[in-house]
Amino acid sequence: MSANVLIEKIGHTLVITINRPAQRNAVNRAVSMAIADALDRLDSEDDLRVGILTGASGNFCSGMDLRAFVEGERPELEGRGFGGLTEAPPRKPLIAAVEGYALAGGCELALACDLIVAADDATFGLPEVCRGLVAGSGGLIRMARKVPPAIALEYALTGNRMAAPIAQQWGMINRLVPSGQALTEALALASEIAANAPLSVMMSKRIVEESGAWAPAEIWDCQRPLVDSVLASDDAQEGARAFTEKRDPVWSGR
C-alpha cells in the first residue's frame, strides 16, 4: 500500500486516508491505485462491512494533482475512474468523512461515496471550468442527482464553492458536525450500519442504486429476485430467530 494512502481497520470498518497534506491530498496515479486496492480489500474481506474515505491533516481532497497532470500523468484507472473509485464504487457502503476542501476531483470522490459526513467549515465545489477542464469523473452526474439540477448546474457553470451547511440544506450531506469531528461521526455512522445484516445492507444499497434505471412497469419484477435472494439467506432466519428470542443477532453473511 502506498504511503500516500493510509489504511486502518477499526472493528468492521476500513478507514482509507489520502495522505498527501502538502498537496492538500491531491490525487495522482499512485493514490488512485492505492485506493482501488483498499476498495478491493473492503469488498473481499467478510469481516469488513463499511468503508470510510477521508483525508489527512484537515482536508479531504483538493482534486487532481495538476502538476502531475501537466507532466503527462493521468490519475484515472481503466474501469475504475478517478481515485480508483468514481467508475467502480464498492458493493459495500462507503462513507466520505470530509474536512476542509473537497474540490474538483475531491468533490467527485465525495459524491461517489454512498453517504457524506462533513465538518461545518468544509467546502465543496466543481471548479473545473475555471481551469479549462470538465468535471468528468461523475461530479456533474452525481451532484445533479443529489441536489436540484438547476442548483447543480449553477455551481458547475460558475465554479463557485458550496459551504457545507448549504450542501446539507440541499440534501447532499447526511450529517454535519463541528470542525475536526467528521471522522469520529463517520465511524459512529459506520458502526450503526455494520450492526445490521451484511447481505441486507449490500442488497439495499444495490436496489437504491439500480432502481432509478428500472422502467416503471418492471420495478417489481426487477426487485423481486434481489429481495428473494436475501430472504433465502441464513441471516434472514437468524434475524427472525433473534427477534423472537429477544437477543442480538449473530450475522454470518450467508
Task: Write out the catalytic residue numbers.
Answer: 108, 128
Backbone φ and ψ for 36, nearest 5 degrees, come out as -60, -40
Output the 3-class SS for the chain. Answer: CCCCEEEEEECCEEEEEECCHHHCCCECHHHHHHHHHHHHHHHHCCCCCEEEEEECCCCCECCECHHHHHCCCCCCECCCEHHHCCCCCCCCCEEEEECCEEECHHHHHHHHCCEEEEECCCEEECHHHHHCCCCCCCHHHHHHHHCCHHHHHHHHHHCCEEEHHHHHHCCCCCEEECCCCHHHHHHHHHHHHHCCCHHHHHHHHHHHHHHHHCCHHHHHHHHHHHHHHHHCCHHHHHHHHHHHCCCCCCCCCC
